[in-house]
Amino acid sequence: MLDQKLGPVVDADGHLLEPADLWLKYIDPQYRDRAIRIDHDEQGWEILLFDNKIAEVVRGTLGALGGVGMDPDEFFIPGNKSYMDGCPPGSYDPKARLQVMDDEGIDIALLYPTISIFWEGWVTDPKLATAYTRAYNRWLVDFCSYDKKRLFPIAHVSLIDPEGAVEETLRAKKDGCVGIYLSPDMVARGWKHFDDPSFVRFWETVQDLQMPVGFHVVVRDQPSFREWVRPGADFGLFNFTFLAIDVMAGFTQMMSMGMFDKYPRMKCTVLESGANWISAWLDRMDHKYIPMKSRTQLKMKPSEYFYRQCLVSADPDETMTAQVVEHIGPDYFVWASDYPHIDSSFGVAKEIKERIEPLSLDAQRKVLGGNAIRFYNLPIGI
């Protein structure tokens, strides 16, 4: 299956749809009565519960958490489709996932959650938050153990519990996780900024373990951009488009607070916000850095920290990826399928290959898989 010319193809942000009973089975027993679960409301609609509270944003529309290759309109009618209706076997069964990867021409997948991109912000008990992440990470490691050469787990860690975050990072590394997923928004870390003293040990840990942290879009009943959303409006185009804003803001805050200066060996991946914006954003930050130099902790231009410590993930449907890669350099890009979400599609590996075909063969190899293998220290040859 491996394309000898282009090398391994790595999906840097594939997703799983967690089994509905995952947390009931994998959570520490003392938290089982507060486990994440799916139930039904008085209308018979499916509801998602975190700490026994309902996530209103997906009431009756849990099927839309998956739905790849299906009619989106059917999944956004409340009560019309169940969570399992939107779950193709490749989203929860490792054997089926490998078949999907074979069909798509994907050699390796870095795997991220779906339900777990929702609950931070609802959960305010730090110990419960860590119990949720620990349960998910245990299941994820079991999932990926089906084929440790092709399926790589990215652990979920919650910074609302700084001590627990360190413990879970160490445990996840020992279990074979190759990176860390962090929610980028402020509410997920108890409104603390990234440079809060309580997080120092976490940043030191991920730096020492060489586990890249990745910011990914999150979904909230009360998103950070809620002032822009019309009261009572259904989740729509504005919300879906603006999910990327939290990722961009998290990355920018990390940069502006000097986190890459304080932790020069820490690695960061910017996910599911596209990649074509990064060129203009680095230019803008570098330009604003000039008059603000005396008011910042940075010793170098923002772009220099990006080049030293970061990657950004391209979406297959972006139309200027080749030009942006050529401008920034091919060492700083990966790509992602987003399978099996409702806005993903099949044929994405073929699509990203077509997008970057104007680049040199060496650049194509890096974007398609070489950069991910290097950045995450995956135990395979390029």
Strand, coil or helix: 47: strand
Helix ranges restricted to H, 105-236: 126-144, 162-174, 200-209
Where does the pLDDT of residue 1 fall: very low under 50, low under 70, confident under 90, or very high at 90 and above? low
pLDDT value for 250: 97
Other CB atoms closer than 10 Å to residue 6's CB: what's the count? 17
pLDDT (average), residues 39-58: 96
Query: Is the per-residue pLDDT at 2 higher than 90?
Result: no
Predicted confidence band of residue 234 (pLDDT cuts 50, 70, 90)? confident
Q: Following DSSP, what letter does each residue of 70-105 receive, concatenated?
A: S-HHHHSSTTSS-TGGG--GGGT-HHHHHHHHHHHT
Please report, rounded to a whole number, the percentage of residues in the chain having pLDDT higher than 70: 99
Long-range contact list for 92-100, CB < 8 A, 24+ apart?
92/16, 92/17, 92/18, 92/19, 94/143, 94/144, 94/146, 94/147, 94/151, 95/146, 97/16, 97/151, 98/146, 98/147, 98/150, 98/151, 100/339
On the question of pLDDT at 231 being above 90, the answer is no
Q: Classify residue 181 as left (phi > 0), alpha (psi -120 to 50) or beta.
A: beta
Contact criterion met (CB below 8 Å) for 77 and 106? no
User: Which residue shows structure tokens 């990176």?
Assistant: 179
Mean pLDDT of the chain: 96
CB atoms within 10 A of CB 357: 10
Is residue 219 in a domain? yes
Identify whether 107 is part of a domain.
Answer: yes
> Which CATH number does the domain housing residue 171 bear?
3.20.20.140
- Would you state the pLDDT for residue 221? 84
**Residue 239 to residues 71, 220, 246, 361, Cα–Cα distance (Å):** 19, 10, 11, 38
Query: Do the domain assignments include residue 163?
Result: yes
Within a domain: 335:
yes
Does the residue 61 lie in any domain? no
| Domains contained in the chain, number | 1
Averaged pLDDT for residues 14-42? 97
pLDDT value, residue 382:
43
Beta strands in the chain (DSSP E): 10-15, 37-40, 46-50, 53-54, 108-112, 151-156, 179-182, 213-215, 268-270, 310-314, 333-335
Whether pLDDT at 287 is above 50: yes
Residue 203 lies in a domain: yes
Distance, CA of 133 to chain centre: 14
β 179-182/213-215 pair status: parallel
The backbone region for 268, taken as left when phi is positive above 0, alpha when psi lies in -120 to 50, beta otherwise, is beta
Residue range of the domain that includes 253: 10-17+95-375
For residue 24, being part of any structural domain is answered with no
Beta bridge partners of 112: 15
Residues 370 and 349: beta-carbon distance below 8 Å: no
Collect all residues with Cβ–Cβ distance below 8 Å to 186 and sequence separation of at least 6: 192, 193, 224
- Give domain status of residue 22, yes or no: no
